[in-house]
């Protein structure tokens, strides 16, 4: 088996492992929404961790044997593989838009695969690594500053931060490629800066991706991340690693066209998955909606009487529904006790999304409203 074929095989198995790990993570989060530390005690969660670890290991080995411009885009197949796997194992059916996106992504990546030419594995020299690190840092910092300046426009801010995250993730794969090519059975002193760069870029990408999801939804940043990550890695592979496509200029143009088709399919997959999840969550959220009983200050007594509800009945109902927390003993407190501003959170665990960082699942953190007292219906 040639090195290119082995790299493709490892990339495909890696994408399958990532998709399986993401699906298991999502199922654990949905089945145990109110138990914060329960996943640590459940074998299924550790199985997801093992699948993600296997996917990461195979991805690194694939980078050692294959071109960066091919291995990184193939990692996006995680989203494509997640569709049939979710339908087979957890009974989640995808819509027509998702299947169109999957077909587009598959065709685009297949065309890209057919045009990749075999080349010897190359690494980056020390000046090239320094140059790549400085350019990456400058680009990420510039996008962060631009995102901060655009705080009044949440969508623009989200896309800018997602672009910075995609650059950081893509360049972390570039440095992973250099370490994999230079690997000789042990960690050399010359590889320590590259290993440090991998850790810094991966951490920065994770933090920026988390920040990009605030205030603008998930569709725009997740689609941006899914596309920018492989594009950046492929561009560096072509320009700095000497990776080429078949048929010269014509092959390069065709490869770019295939990349555009694959990117469009990934965007369709991402947005359809998010919109479908939100559409399924809205009816359930409406059934579990919290009931806020008006106080006399908020609703006058005569308005309540006109609606056929007596103030005394509302007060009695409030006494039945509200269970005050036990007050602290007077001897142990120096002043009046603080009101209970920690209502019980409503709803269930938010759904997981198949993120761009090696197929890991992103689970948004629920935000509690601490300014109103909630009464569960």
**Which range (78-92, 258-272, 332-346) has the least confidence?**
332-346
More confident residue, 371 or 80: 80
Burial class (CB in 10 A: 0-12, 13-18, 19+), 265: buried
pLDDT confidence bin for 217, thresholds 50/70/90: low
Please give the mean pLDDT across all residues of the chain. Answer: 75
Angle value at C-alpha 67, between 228 and 59, nearest 5 degrees: 70
Per-residue pLDDT tens over the stretch 322-366: 445 455 444 444 444 444 444 444 444 444 455 444 444 444 444
Give the whole-number percent of the chain exceeding pLDDT 70. Answer: 66
pLDDT tens track for 20-57: 887 887 777 667 666 555 566 778 778 888 888 898 89
Q: What is the pLDDT of residues 302-329, one digit of tens each?
A: 544 444 545 566 566 555 554 454 554 4
Mean pLDDT of 83-105: 83
pLDDT band at 243 (very low <50, low <70, confident <90, very high): confident
At residue 149 the predicted structure's pLDDT band, cuts being 50, 70 and 90, is very high
Mean per-residue pLDDT, 288-311: 50
What are the tokens at 195?
């290993």
pLDDT at position 13: 94
CA–CA separation, 148 and 160 (whole Å): 9
34 or 104, which is more confident: 104
What confidence category does residue 185 fall into, taking pLDDT thresholds of 50, 70 and 90?
low
What is the DSSP annotation of 314-363? HHHHHHHH--PPPPPPGGG-SSPPPP---PPPPS-PPPPEE-SSTTPEE-
């Amino acid at each position: 088996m040639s090195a290119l074929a082995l790299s493709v095989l490892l990339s495909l198995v890696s994408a399958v492992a990532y998709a399986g790990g993401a699906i298991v993570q999502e199922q654990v989060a949905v089945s145990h929404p109110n138990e914060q530390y329960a996943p640590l005690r459940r074998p299924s969660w550790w199985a997801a961790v093992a699948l993600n670890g296997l996917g990461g290991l195979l991805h690194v080995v694939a980078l050692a044997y294959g071109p960066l411009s091919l291995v990184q885009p193939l990692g996006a197949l995680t989203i494509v593989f997640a569709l049939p796997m979710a339908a087979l194992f957890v009974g989640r059916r995808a819509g027509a838009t998702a299947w169109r996106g999957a077909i587009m992504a598959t065709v685009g990546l297949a065309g890209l695969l057919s045009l990749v030419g075999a080349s010897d594995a190359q690494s980056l020299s020390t000046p090239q690594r320094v140059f790549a690190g400085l350019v990456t840092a400058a680009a990420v910092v510039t996008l962060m500053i631009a995102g901060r300046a655009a705080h009044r426009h949440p969508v623009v801010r989200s896309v800018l931060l997602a672009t910075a995250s995609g650059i950081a993730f893509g360049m972390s794969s570039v440095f992973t490629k250099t370490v994999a090519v230079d690997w000789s059975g042990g960690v050399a002193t010359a590889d320590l800066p590259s290993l440090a760069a991998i850790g810094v870029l991966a951490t920065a990408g994770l933090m920026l991706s988390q920040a990009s999801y605030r205030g603008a939804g998930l569709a725009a940043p997740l689609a941006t991340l899914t596309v920018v990550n492989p594009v950046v890695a492929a561009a560096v592979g072509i320009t700095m690693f000497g990776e080429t496509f078949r048929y010269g200029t014509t092959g390069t143009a065709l490869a770019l066209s295939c990349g555009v088709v694959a990117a469009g399919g990934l965007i369709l997959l991402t947005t359809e998955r998010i919109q479908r999840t939100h559409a399924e969550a809205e009816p359930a959220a409406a059934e579990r909606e919290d009931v806020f009983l008006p106080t006399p200050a908020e609703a006058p007594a005569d308005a309540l009487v006109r609606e056929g509800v007596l103030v005394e009945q509302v007060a009695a109902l409030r006494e039945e529904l509200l269970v005050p927390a036990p007050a602290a003993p007077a001897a142990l407190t120096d002043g009046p006790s603080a009101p209970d501003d920690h209502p019980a959170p409503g709803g269930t665990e938010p759904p997981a999304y198949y993120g761009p960082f090696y197929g890991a699942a992103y689970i948004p953190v629920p935000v509690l409203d601490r300014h109103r007292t909630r009464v569960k219906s």
